[in-house]
Each structure stands twice: as structure tokens, then as C-alpha cells.
């Protein structure tokens, strides 16, 4: 089976809601990080973010089997969050653990 790196990008205020929804659905480790996004796509921006020209976002990464991607995207879509969430997935060609 193909492992996929699945990343969700959400408003910083929605990070815990999205992470909790994912944790209820999968046992895969979640990697959370805060991000500042610069750009011209302000369709998801709050008023203050539009003024500053920078979006505060959280990224949530997890590695799952390909068959789980659509289930987890649906889980985030159904979560009680306040703002849009963007996502993407990429095939993982190799991975491991170094002790």
C-alpha cells in the first residue's frame, strides 16, 4: 500500500479543532507547526490578515495509507471549525526511524 504525506493548512485559531478531529479518526502521529503565509490569495484571510498582508496558519502533517486520505479530508470537512482549510497529499517514497 502507498503511504501518503497528508498536510492540512488551517487558520491558527482552528488548529486544535482540526487536530482533535483527526486524532479521533486516526492513530497516525500528527505534526503541528505555526506558519506565516505571504502571498496574494487572501480568499481565506481574516480582516486583520488582509491589512497586514500575511496570514497566520497552522500546518498539520500526518502519514497515512492512500485509502485513508479521502476519509480524513471528510473528517476535517465535518469538523466544527470557523474557517476554510486547504490540504494536499504527496506519495512518500521512503521513510524510516533513526535511533
pLDDT tens sequence for the chain (99 residues): 799 999 999 999 999 999 999 999 999 999 999 998 887 667 777 777 777 777 889 999 999 999 999 999 999 999 999 999 999 999 999 989 999
CATH number of 3-89: 3.30.70.120
Which parts of 43-83 fold into alpha helices (H)?
47-52, 69-78
d(CA 84, CA 78): 11
Amino acid at each position: 500500500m502507498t503511504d501518503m504525506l497528508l498536510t492540512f493548512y488551517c487558520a491558527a485559531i482552528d488548529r486544535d479543532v482540526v487536530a482533535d478531529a483527526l486524532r479521533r479518526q486516526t492513530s497516525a502521529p500528527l505534526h503541528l507547526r505555526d506558519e506565516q503565509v505571504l502571498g496574494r490569495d487572501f480568499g481565506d484571510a481574516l480582516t486583520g490578515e488582509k491589512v497586514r498582508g500575511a496570514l497566520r496558519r497552522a500546518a498539520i502533517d500526518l502519514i497515512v495509507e492512500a485509502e485513508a486520505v479521502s476519509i480524513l479530508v471528510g473528517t476535517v470537512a465535518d469538523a466544527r471549525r470557523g474557517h476554510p482549510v486547504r490540504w494536499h497529499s504527496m506519495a512518500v517514497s521512503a521513510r524510516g526511524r533513526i535511533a
